[in-house]
Chains A and B, each alone.
Chain A
């Protein structure tokens, strides 16, 4: 008995020695990764630790870690505040609209590109549809304002020419979500199709050959071969999109926002920015609480949707 114990002990110390040796041999690698690790700690984990100001009453003199605790007071104030339902609804409408209208477009584009036999035409379409992705959010917003401008924009000029009369697109709250969503599709659909094209490239050509022999037409091949093959990719992307449901691309919203469309363009993040950073008397604690509220909901959403996807289709993030 004692013998086995001592042998086990020896083995353990040997393992420990080996581990230490494996670490010391590669000491340079630890030196290398030290800087990225420090970066992540300072710029990602320190802010995470700093989210505790959402539970404190921040005072400039006492700093983040010296300010008194107030528990969930800020969260309660936000949920009870008069603009909570409006902000929440606007955020949800924008992101759900974006998801429902925007999610299928890259898939359709990828399926179409996949059946395009003419190489040059295919390349041209790809080249053109990927390009808007690289235009900055400020330029895109500027472009939208120019094109939709009431008196000088091309869209209104055409409407006027056709006798429909001019529409103040950007000043109408009810049109804001459509402008936001469809300009987003214009910018991102092409780029979004790349990932589906990659999935389609992985489809076994023998499946298609067999289907052709069986007399399937292209509609049937898309329905029974391509779509099932890209389903796992689609589900993963859908999960990720649900995780971002409260993270509307808020920079574009902020840029397109004006006093006329505010009733539908004020979303949670633009509100956080305004009360936390743009205000003359910034309320850091309250703004952080609002921000944390959305981050936690997003995390919960991603976990739930991931669980459902795992259950239903056996595809999941982890």
Chain B
């Protein structure tokens, strides 16, 4: 430590000050809105609306959360989102591994052609309308499948998984198990998958977060409100309500409106909880995933 200090010049000292300022400012800028929303969500409606809350909670109350719990649509949406996330992730991970393993094998004839066909879809795609027409043609509109199938496989995740297989499953292992009379399928089930915990964790998390946050495909493919995922309900409450709030400015509605606004803060917190709870544990996996992709991509 002291040795490096010795080499620091005047210029370095200025550099260090600027550097730490950048980091501290970034940290505060990112954290402030998050802390504000958390604080607002547990303050009293009146304190939030009159601008008394700016950092810490004022007049602690759980009215906002109470209002969220009373809203039935939110819980239907929450349940649907859990359903889509769990099943969507399972389907996605299986399909991705099915694509990635053969593509990782050097003795797999045709892998370059298939790989090209896959990666080309990252550069060019049919677009919103033709995709919609295909999904409609398949009869998936207004079914749960519409949220599970069209986005089931992300080519990016196939690349990450393939790279992991190439780097972590040595060819000798395949040779040895072949001599022992092991077939491809049992090699995958007994050797490859048990060795691939980290990459499966990475892609599961990527798929799960995407599925939880997905809103646009639900918007265009679903009409039945019983099938709506949480994000659609959120849009209705957080966003479409917005314009109304500006028109209704009558005094007697004030309290109701206050509670409505408070509900939004609580709802933002409730909707983000699953992701925010997993995030600290999952962060290093996400970073690993992007690193693998970066090296190859």
Contact = CB atoms under 8 A, between A and B. Distances in A.
Interface in A175-209: 186, 189-191, 194-195, 198-199
Main secondary structure of the interface of A (DSSP, over half): helix
Given A40-B118, A277-B132, A195 B264 contact: no
A217 B109 CA distance: 54
Interface string B3-14: 000010111101
B130 A129 contact: no
A289 B108 CA distance: 39
Contacts of A116: 19-20, 23
B16 interface: yes
Contacts of A212: 7
A186 B27 CA distance: 11
Q: How large is the interface on B (under 10, 10 to 19, 20 to 34, 35 or more residues)?
A: 35 or more
Contact of A36 (B99, B220, B264): B99
Contact of A47 (B22, B107, B130, B294): B130
Interface residues of A, number: 98
A291 interface: yes
Looking at A51, A121, A138, A151, the one whose CB has the most chain B CB atoms below 10 A away is A138
A131 B34 CA distance: 10
B79 to A, nearest CB: 17
B183 A48 contact: no
Looking at B133, B265, B291, the one whose CB has the most chain A CB atoms below 10 A away is B133
Interface stretch (B56-64, B66-74, B193-201, B209-217): B209-217
Contacts of B131: 43, 47, 50
Nearest to A222: B15
A309 to B, nearest CB: 16
Contacts of B265: 146
A147 interface: yes
Interface of A: 19, 22-23, 26, 28-30, 32-33, 35-37, 39-40, 42-51, 53, 64, 108-109, 112-113, 115-116, 121-122, 124-125, 127-132, 134-139, 141-143, 145-147, 149-152, 154, 157-158, 160-161, 170, 186, 189-191, 194-195, 198-199, 212, 215, 217-220, 222, 233, 243, 251, 255, 258-259, 269, 272-273, 276-277, 284, 287-288, 291-292, 295, 299, 302
Query: Considering the complex of A and B, which 6 residue pairs feature the smallest CB-CB distances, nearest first?
Result: A47-B126, A142-B238, A157-B51, A217-B11, A36-B99, A136-B213
14 contacts: A26-B107, A33-B103, A35-B95, A49-B126, A51-B126, A116-B20, A125-B23, A136-B234, A149-B245, A154-B54, A186-B29, A217-B10, A277-B128, A302-B123
Interface of B: 7, 9-12, 14-16, 19-20, 22-23, 26-27, 29-31, 33-34, 36-37, 40, 48-49, 51, 53-54, 95-96, 98-99, 101-103, 105, 107-109, 114, 117-118, 121, 123-135, 138, 149-150, 152-153, 158, 183-185, 188, 209, 212-213, 215-216, 220, 231, 234-235, 238-239, 242-243, 245-246, 249, 261, 264-265, 267-268, 271-272, 275-276, 279-280, 283, 286-287, 290-291, 294-295
Given A36-B98, A43-B150, 9 more contacts: A35-B95, A35-B98, A36-B95, A47-B127, A130-B287, A135-B275, A136-B271, A217-B11, A277-B220
